Structure 1
Amino acid sequence: MFVDIKAKVIGFIGIGVMGKSIAANLQKAGFTVHIYTRTKSKAKNLIEQGAIWKDSPAEIAQSADVIMTMVGYPQDVEHVYLGDNGIINNAKPGSYIVDMTTSKPDLAKKIHKLAKARDLYALDAPVSGGDIGAKNGTMAIMIGGDAFAYEKIQPIFEVIGENIVYQGEAGAGQHTKLANQITIASNMIGVCETIVYAKKAGLEPTKVLESITTGAAGSWSLSNLAPRMIKGDFAPGFYVKHFIKDMTIALESAKDMGLSTPGLELSLSLYKELASKGDQDSGTQALIKLFER
């Protein structure tokens, strides 16, 4: 481990629903945090709390020892890492670069290869836990890349997550996150059907949850998103549009491996229908709307 991990400057790119809480927790833990996001106003609170604003990914790369990213789509990852003004072309030798975006495993491998050629240490480290896990520092973090690089910056991961597992070589973190999203995809359909069924049967859905969340039917979505569904709270802990992106990548990856994933295909089709009705920026729990109509 670093002799003094707190002396290391962390650059963070992407201040979205989860990214802003991750950056805030790093600040609270005593790290110096440099930040960049496309819309500076989203970083206002972090800047007021002491984060240092930089004007581009290149400036982040030049000033930080550990660079963490959580952006929207694989094309955003490519822009932030691979462009002339991106991280790989501007980071100091010996820097650690950590992509926490859910992205393509092959892209993670490409970034790792290019980073290694420039004496940089790349990890793919997507997360699960939504806005709640990000705020509480309890996220699951799935890590791919070189084991020694993970071990060096493990104290940083421990600030923002609880279930932190090194999965293997570059791309392994992304494959693990896709497995996570495949699991959630079918589960979300079941959660929606459960609530609608309870209502049609004349039951009080919140009481039904009291009985079933701790039994064999229990899941994170049932415990955390079902109550939001019942309240009609569709604020995004995780955007519908980003779940569609994740499921699309997972489906492509599964097809490349010759796998049939009918549950994933059904969930993706339902979420695309939901987005087409104007809910692309809602939280994933908004899927209940299709079942209640």
Structure 2
Amino acid sequence: MSQTVAFLGLGVMGGYMAANLARQGYTVQGWNRTPQKTGVNIAASAGVQIVPTLEAAVTGAKVVFSCVGDVPDVEAVLLGESGAARYASPQTLLVDFSTIGSQAAKTIAQALADQNLSFLDAPISGGDVGAKNGTLTIMVGGREADFQAALPYFEAMGKTIRLCGPVGSGQAVKMCNQILCALNLVGICEAMILAEKQGLDPQIIVEVCGTGAAGSWALSNLGLKVATGDFTPGFMIKHILKDLRLVREIAATARQELPGVALAEDLFKRVEALDELAREQGTQAMMRAYRN
């Protein structure tokens, strides 16, 4: 397999995703704004060619993937003065895995189309575990032809891959996904507190409740971490707060109240305010709001 692809953003998720592409035989040119990151080393160890500039990553790439932070980060990486659009060949397909909301995705897609470039919004879910194991859920918005062109690459990184509709649709589904994730954590934290008060082993909660109607990915993967205070990040608090901000913006436009989202956001903000490290902890650190 000789196709060359670019991967921009080798963080907690991107490093593993780029590594999985390389393991499937693709030539991957990887770039990260901050070279000294664990994800960069993970990608390099799998055969990703780490390059010093975004230009070097994009030049010659058939497809350009990006996985960064908020809307301004995506705009800078794709559309900025030294962004991917400047160096990509005409008709190159750009795929963004970041969570940025539907409107931003549509705006970016149009700006790229004006430069004869194609775009898919493809936000992901599954945390660092899914990124590492290649089992991510990938929610895609864009044209059918572009989706089919990207599908072999998606299959190297994910397990559940769905074209949800036109550009922006992947982001729309991801917003709903983030509501479910945030509120699920509220339930897990409170269940673990009640289990503790009753003298139960938290493993019992994960094993027994996880097999019934209360079962979820979050309970299986984060339940014990919540109970034991393991707040190592798979998905950081600063990122879920950014996502819930996007959810609120959509809800406000639709004049729809979401009290559950307000509760979860408040709990995450309480943790964020505790110390300088909190923003970088995993979302399971919501438990700290109940301990302080």
In structure 2, the residue matched to 1:202 is 199
Are 1:124 and 2:130 matched, yes or no? Answer: no
Q: 2 CA distance for matches of 1:46 and 1:190?
A: 35
1:7 corresponding residue in structure 2: 2
Question: Is 1:96 aligned to residue 98 of structure 2?
Answer: no
In structure 1, C-alpha distance between the alignment counterparts of 2:16 and 2:133, rounded to whole Å? 8
Q: Residue 245 of structure 1: SS of its match in structure 2?
A: helix
Letter in 2 for 1:241: K
Distance change in 2, residues 1:179/1:54 (3 Å): same
Q: Which of residues 216, 220, 242 in structure 2 aligns to 1:219? A: 216
Amino acid at match of 2:261: L
| Separation in 2, partners of 1:275, 1:231 | 19
**Range moving further from structure 2, 273-282 or 199-208:** 199-208
Q: CA deviation at 1:156?
A: 0.5
Residue 104 of structure 1 deviates from its aligned partner by 2.3
Q: Who is 2:21 aligned against?
A: 26
For the residue of structure 2 that corresponds to 1:7, the secondary structure is coil
What is the distance in 1 between the residues matched to 2:207 and 2:49?
45
Q: 2:59 touches 2:87 (CA, 8 Å); kept in 1?
A: yes
Sort the Cα spacing of 1:188 and 1:65 in 2 relative to 1 into closer, same or farther, 3 A.
Answer: same
Identify the range of structure 1 (281-290 vs 121-130) with the bigger mean alpha-carbon deviation.
281-290
Distance 1:237 1:209 in 2: 19
Give the match for residue 12 of structure 2: 17
* CA offset digits 1:60-98 (Å, max 9, x no partner): 222311100110111101111111211122210121100
Look up the SS of the partner of 1:143 in the other structure: strand
Q: Displacement, 1:49?
A: 4.1
2:50 matched residue in structure 1: 53
Letter in 2 for 1:233: D
CA offset digits 1:199-242 (Å, max 9, x no partner): 11222221122211111111111111011122321100100111
Mapping 1:90-169, distance limit 5 Å = 90-169=87-166
- C-alpha RMSD of matched pairs (Å): 1.3
Q: Choose which of 36, 61, 64 in structure 2 pairs with 1:41.
A: 36
1:172-251 matched pairs, under 5 angstroms:
172-251=169-248
User: CA deviation digits over 1:4-29, x for unaligned, max 9?
Assistant: xx322110011111111001101110
User: Compared with structure 1, are the counterparts of its residues 45 and 223 closer, same or farther at alpha carbon in structure 2 (3 Å cutoff)?
Assistant: closer
Flag structure 1 segments of 5+ consecutive residues without an equivalent: 1-5
Gaps of 5+ in 2: none
Give the secondary structure class of the aligned counterpart of 1:233: coil
**CA apart distance, 1:45:** 4.4
CA distance in 2, matches of 1:282, 1:82: 30
Structure 1 CA distance for aligned equivalents of residues 54 and 95 of structure 2: 13
2:266 is the counterpart of 1:269:
yes
What secondary structure does 2:113 align onto?
A: helix
Task: After superposition, give the CA deviation of every residue in 1:140-160 in whole Å (9 maximum; x if it has no partner).
Answer: 000001111001121110110
* Residue of structure 2 equivalent to 1:86: 83
2:87 is paired with a residue of what secondary structure? Answer: coil
What is the one-letter code of the residue matched to 1:157?
Answer: F
Shift in Å, 1:48 = 4.7
Distance, in Å, in 2 between the alignment partners of 1:85 and 1:104 is 23
Amino acid in the other structure paired with 1:82:
L
Letter in 2 for 1:13: L
* 205-214 vs 274-283, which moves further: 205-214
Report the TM-score when normalising by structure 1. Answer: 0.95
Q: Structure 1 residues 63, 78: closer, same or farther in 2, change over 3 A?
A: same
Q: Tell whether the 8 Å contact from 2:95 to 2:119 is kept in structure 1 after alignment.
A: yes
